[in-house]
Structure 1
Amino acid sequence: MLESTTVLVNLQVHGYSSQPRFTQTNTDLQLTVTEGVQIGRDLFFWKFNNSKNIIRLNGDKVNRFHYQNRVEFFNQNLSLILKNVQLSDSGIYTAAVSRETDVILSTHDVRVQGAEEVCTQETESERSWCLVKTVVFSVGLLLMVSSVITVHVLDWTRKKNN
């Protein structure tokens, strides 16, 4: 005789990033919690596709599961950095707190693309727009790298002069 059990899951959705986040393979991706929350003694977790645990924070104890060697977790702001993302990392990432009901704090729809996939849109205007975005993204990366180098050079110069 088979018994049937119904489980009801009560979720409260607070923060949701409905726009897909596109990123390229072999890059690092930061996922943030969009809601300010006090964890206290509650269980906090990051999940992938609502099934695979990535991080579970219980008090001060952090357990790492999926992505064990490719994840950095920051207790202060509950953000997560996935290192060296691959095509198989595409999916839904969810940050939540488990209380009487699970409270979803943030959800990210991540889509990882290989370098050859970045500008393969159908029409000419879509390809043009994609190339413009790629150039702007590249210039932005160059500016960030230049800024970091400048800060390090200035810091080194100040230390040398003191």
Structure 2
Amino acid sequence: MRPCVVLLFVVSLLTLCEAQGTIETPVFVLKGRDLLLELHADLPEKFSFVDWKINKTVDLVRIESSGEPNVFKDFTGRLEFPDKHFSVILKNLQEADSGVYSAEAVTPTEDKPLTEYKVTVQGPVSPVKQIVDRVDSSISESCDLHVTCRTHNSHINSTFRCVDQNCSQEGGERPEVTTSGASLQVYLLNSTIICNHSNQVNWTQAFNTTEHFCSSNASPFHYGWVPAICTVTLVITAALHV
């Protein structure tokens, strides 16, 4: 192999290794929660301090090689430092705190990138309501349910056809993305119709059973709209959240 080719291969390999060492880690966190940013990379043998920054430009904290943190003025009272050296806990995150958080080691000769987190702070999703409209078919064993899942700024519709208590969904399987970036979905799980409104850290649900509308004991007349019988809210804790 020619020397120039070998050199190009080595340079490419070093570039790849450096990129792998600083790959962005996506993190989603619920508004108002804290977040631990851990420093996983190995530090150089001789370094002066570690700098944490936001979007490569805003200084967050400078941590001396001894582990002593010097927090920049705008973030006073908003940071904590766990036992692990050079890691940072961000307190009471708000949506405006979303961004790329990176750490680099400063040495006498270079600034070495160590870790990057792409942090997205999301608020809780709004409650979802389910409206079920029964339309009887001319076939006595058949029952059509028109379902609407509605939030404060979006909605999605679907139809469920039940024959002899066996129900299937017809249309509306694809989730609707709301104006806030959350996902609104309606689907059938066994005999339960579920409306799900969710983002990466929080979700709410409303549900009803098909038997409630299409059983032999159900009234044969048109139901009109009927709200869901239950709503569930759950917070999904993000990875790295403390």
Specify the TM-score bucket, using the shorter chain as the normaliser.
0.5 to 0.7
Distance 1:134 1:25, change over 3 A: closer
TM-score (norm 2): 0.44
In the TM superposition, 1:24-39 aligns within 5 A as 24-38=30-44
TM-score (norm 1): 0.63
Distance 1:109 1:59, change over 3 A: same
**Which residue identity lines up with residue 78 of structure 1 in the other structure?**
F
Distance 1:113 1:98, change over 3 A: same
Q: Which residue of 2 aligns with 1:82?
A: 90
**Which residue identity lines up with residue 58 of structure 1 in the other structure?**
E
Gap regions ≥5 residues in structure 2: 1-14, 127-176, 187-194, 204-233
Aligned residue for 2:125, secondary structure, equals: helix
Gap regions ≥5 residues in structure 1: 1-10, 142-162
Distance 1:130 1:85, change over 3 A: same
In the TM superposition, 1:120-131 aligns within 5 A as 120=178, 121-122=182-183, 124=185, 128=196, 130=198
Q: Which residue of 2 aligns with 1:96?
A: 104
**Which residue identity lines up with residue 124 of structure 1 in the other structure?**
Q
Greater relative contact order: 1 or 2 (C-alpha under 8 angstroms, separation 6 or more)? 1
Q: CA deviation at 1:122?
A: 4.8
**Which residue identity lines up with residue 110 of structure 1 in the other structure?**
V
Aligned residue for 2:104, secondary structure, equals: strand
**Which residue identity lines up with residue 106 of structure 1 in the other structure?**
T
Q: RMSD between aligned alpha carbons?
A: 3.5
Whichever of the two has the greater Rg, that structure is 2
Of all paired residues, the percent bearing the same amino acid is 25
In the TM superposition, 1:1-162 aligns within 5 A as 13=19, 14-18=21-25, 20-38=26-44, 40-60=46-66, 61-65=68-72, 66-74=74-82, 76-99=84-107, 100-116=109-125, 120=178, 121-122=182-183, 124=185, 128=196, 130=198, 134=202, 138=235
After superposition, the C-alpha distances for 1:60-118 in whole angstroms (9 at most, x for unaligned) are 3421014211101246332110010011100000011112221111000000011137x
Q: Do 1:35 and 1:106's aligned partners in 2 also have CA atoms closer than 8 Å?
A: yes
User: What number of residue pairs does the alignment pair up?
Assistant: 129
Higher strand share: 2
Q: Do 2:34 and 2:92's aligned partners in 1 also have CA atoms closer than 8 Å?
A: yes
Cα distance in 1 between the residues matched to 2:36 and 2:196: 28
